[in-house]
Each structure stands twice: as C-alpha cells, then as structure tokens.
A and B are shown apart, each in its own frame.
Chain A
Amino acid sequence: MSNKKTRILIAKPGLDGHDRGAKFIARALRDAGFEVIYTGLRQTPEAIASAAIQEDVQWVGLSCLSGAHNSLFPKVVEILKQKQAEDIKVFGGGVIPSDDIPGLKEAGIKEIFTPGATSKSVIDYINSN
C-alpha cells in the first residue's frame, strides 16, 4: 500500500523581495493536497536545485518580479540537468513579458504563469502534467 504525495518546491530566485504571489501559490497548492516546501527569499539557482534534489520534489515553482527571470530560471533548469535531475520539472511565474516566454520554454521551463493566472490554473496544470 502506498502513500504517495506530489511534492513541490516553491522558491524565490534572485534578490526580489515580493513574495506575496509565491506565498499565495504555496498555500493554494497545500490546500489542494500537495506537499509544498518553501525556501524563502534570495535563493541562488544552485541552492534551489540542491534543495529540489534533497527534497526529492516532482516540481519546482519559481517566482520572480524583478525582471531577472531570463538569467535565473534557465540556470535552475541547467543545474538540475547537470545533477542528473532533469526529471524535476520547473515552472515559473511573475512579471514576465510575453516575448520572453518562448525563450524560457526553450530553456526548459515547462510553463510560465503571468499576472492574473489563478491558483486553479496552476493546480490543474500540475495535475495534468
């Protein structure tokens, strides 16, 4: 008999201190039955990837509102790959202009949620992927 849970790491890469969205999503995911691990502010991509591996999560959710997403999001994916953990899926959210999205997806970020996205859309996405 198994007692499986989907585990998700929610992290704030970079120096951006706006965690209202990240914390909301963390709570909403918890309420949807996931096990959510929150890492707090000012995380380097290295620290996020290490935490994701130690916590053995299926998903990493990144939130960034400072415009540093193009540098930081792909870095997380890259380090996960280096550590042979490319099966850990990464999604992102925050203030992300639409013309950055194709580049981020190409870099391996599975999905990007922009302002106005509901927690339900995030939950549905995770449940169906």
Chain B
Amino acid sequence: MKTKSQVQINKEWDIVGARQMGRELAKEMGFGTVDQARIATAISELARNIYLYADKGAVTFEIEEDLNKKGLKIIASDQGPGIADLSKVMEDGYSTSGGLGAGLPGVKRLMDYFDIVSEPESGTTITTIKWVR
C-alpha cells in the first residue's frame, strides 16, 4: 500500500512546507539525522526550481515498499517551460557557478535514485528515491 501526500508549490513559503512534510515522513520512516537533512536539502532544491522556473507545480511524497527495503519517493512536477538541454543541467558546475545552489547534480548525489523527464513547453517531472539504510 502506498501512502501519498502532496504539497503545491506556488510561493516561496511552500518550499518550507514541502521540506517540513518530507522531513516528518523521513523521521517516521526511520531515516537517520544525516539522511533527513539530505532529503530536506533535496526537496528544497526541487521545490525552489519549481518556484523559480515554472511558477506552479507540486512535490509529491510516496512511501515505496519493496520486499526487503523501504524508501521515500519524492516527485517534483511542474507544467513550466521544460528543460531544453538535459545533459547541460545535469553537468557539474552548470547551475552552481552562479551560486544558485546544489543544482540537479546535487539532488542526484543526495538521493539514491534520480530520473528526469522534461518536455519543452509542457513541463518537467523529476522522480527521486532515498532508501532507508
């Protein structure tokens, strides 16, 4: 059974709301302090991207349960302009050079699974998972 919850991202304050929800879920699921902090940072990054580049979107949380492992799945989706050159945004030093934050490579490092689908003009969906260790 999957538990689902969602935070809409419309204004900057919603980023904090998304972090809060993610952290509480992570805590309940038994993530350690460091991983909780990593998850919160990844959520920040994803939610801020929505806020900055897409105006509107949502961060959705799902609890993934496998036979032998349990993880927190975070899906950030928006209906924004999309990303034309995915390999560029996944390159180290691309977004961070302007001091904008960890960027998507950072999110990938913070999480265990990372996938991105983006269509120009129709939006971007990023799916990430962190497994409980």
> Do the two shown chains form a genuine complex with each other?
no
